[in-house]
């Protein structure tokens, strides 16, 4: 069975932090449409529903994200979920987290399940900046959780999970971007994911946007950070564009060096070329390959989808959803150049977080799919 699907889940509607750029800064619970549908009183996905989803989707999945828009480790049965997910040995099993709820038993379960990557969102590399942005987070606990993860990996002689540091770049932490590679390397990270803060429904992030800053200066800082990271052996899992067409070398030697850097850094890799091919062939690479499943069971074709769900778990099975009329209409609209639903107005897609947006633009995706 070919593993060519990407599954993105949310296990809960809650988070333990109220970061200044996040929708959780204004709410204690993130509700997903349809708002009158819930699978549990607390807004968590029941383990039996997750088990059904895993059995139907994970055997065909190349990548599974156990979180998207909320904090997965506060799910009361997260270790049970890890055990279920681990049965399927998904090649790329990962989740983003603020890491603060991590305890030793959970770290042991993460290693045992074969989780390949943990994406730790930090947004600051000093106590002052971290605690200013990540409201409710404590710097000492973050460092202790990073150390714990490394200790459990060392205990089992495991290279996994790899640690990916996620850093949302904004005015409050602009000065710390250049410090990020050293921090990541010091704490055992192997990848960086840097993205711009973006306008988000429910929170005013206008004071943090970098859109009014000098673009050349921003690119210079990004370029220096990227080269520093690669020199330290870090991969760039995702990173903003730091070149213009005029910046690109014209000589054969210069172009070869640039290509080698892009390959070494991870900016260019096979899955990116696959993504571009699918986008050109189908109008978008996501519908039919990606399934986003929320805690209330609603299923969407990508993290940007804001229209009616294409199905519901556990009511519908994976085959019914994949072959159903809603997804068929979406795919046909993209192929024919007549997109429907959210696709008709989607201008951001995957690069939404990796370029500075104008203040008049708005980003609606609930999550950080990577």
Average pLDDT of span 291-314: 95
Other Cβ atoms closer than 10 A to 98: 24
Residue 199 is predicted with a pLDDT of 82
Residue 74 is predicted with a pLDDT of 97
Other Cβ atoms closer than 10 A to 274: 13
Express each pLDDT in 117-128 by its tens digit: 999 999 999 999
DSSP 12-81: -S--S---TTSGGGG-SS---SSTT--SSTTS---HHHHHHHHHHHGGGEEEEES-SSS-GGGSTTHHHH
Is 5-354 a domain of CATH 1.10.730.10?
A: no
Domain spans, the chain: 5-354
Calpha distance 242→261 (Å, rounded): 13
DSSP bridge pairs for 137? none
Q: Does this model's pTM top 0.85?
A: yes
Strands (DSSP E) found in 183-272: 191-196, 235-238
Calpha distance 22→367 (Å, rounded): 10
- pLDDT reading at 336 higher than 80: yes
- pLDDT reading at 359 higher than 80: no
Residues near 168 by beta carbon (within 8 Å), at least 6 away in sequence: 21, 121, 123, 195, 196, 197
Residues near 280 by beta carbon (within 8 Å), at least 6 away in sequence: none
The closest alpha carbon to 267, from 174, 189, 354, belongs to: 354
The closest alpha carbon to 278, from 266, 267, 268, 287, belongs to: 287
- pLDDT reading at 1 higher than 80: no
DSSP bridge pairs for 119? 96, 164
């Amino acid at each position: 069975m070919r593993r060519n699907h990407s599954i993105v889940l949310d296990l809960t509607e809650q988070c333990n932090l109220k970061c200044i750029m996040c929708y959780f800064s204004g709410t204690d619970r993130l509700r997903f449409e349809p708002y009158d549908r819930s699978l549990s009183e607390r807004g968590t996905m029941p383990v039996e529903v997750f088990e059904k989803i895993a059995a139907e989707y994970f055997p065909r999945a190349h990548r599974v994200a156990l979180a998207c828009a909320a904090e997965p480790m506060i799910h009361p049965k997260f270790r049970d979920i890890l055990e279920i997910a681990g049965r399927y040995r998904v090649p790329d099993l990962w989740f983003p987290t603020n890491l603060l709820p991590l305890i030793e038993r959970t770290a042991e379960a993460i290693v045992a399940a074969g989780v390949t990557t943990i994406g730790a969102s930090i947004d600051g590399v000093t106590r002052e900046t971290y605690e200013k942005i990540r409201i409710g987070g404590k710097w000492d606990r973050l460092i202790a959780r990073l150390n714990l993860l490394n200790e459990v990996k060392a205990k089992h002689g495991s290279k996994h999970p790899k640690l990916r540091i996620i850093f949302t770049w904004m005015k409050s932490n602009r000065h710390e971007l250049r410090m990020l590679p050293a921090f990541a390397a010091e704490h055992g990270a192997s990848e960086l994911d840097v993205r711009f803060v973006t306008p988000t429904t429910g929170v005013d992030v206008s004071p943090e946007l970098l859109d009014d800053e000098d673009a050349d200066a921003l690119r210079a800082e990004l370029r220096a950070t990227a080269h520093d990271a690669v020199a330290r052996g870090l991969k760039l899992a995702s990173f903003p564009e730091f070149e213009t067409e005029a910046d690109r070398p014209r000589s054969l030697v210069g172009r070869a060096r640039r290509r080698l850097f892009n390959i070494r850094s991870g900016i260019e890799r096979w899955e990116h070329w696959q993504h571009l091919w699918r986008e050109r062939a189908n109008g978008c690479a996501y519908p039919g390959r990606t399934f986003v499943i929320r805690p209330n069971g609603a299923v969407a074709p990508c993290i940007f989808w804001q229209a009616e769900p294409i199905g519901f778990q556990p009511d519908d099975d994976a085959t019914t959803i994949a072959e159903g009329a809603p997804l068929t209409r979406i795919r046909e609209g993209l192929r024919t150049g007549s997109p429907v639903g959210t696709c008709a107005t989607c201008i951001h897609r995957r690069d939404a977080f990796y370029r500075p947006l104008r203040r008049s633009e708005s980003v609606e995706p609930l999550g950080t799919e990577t």
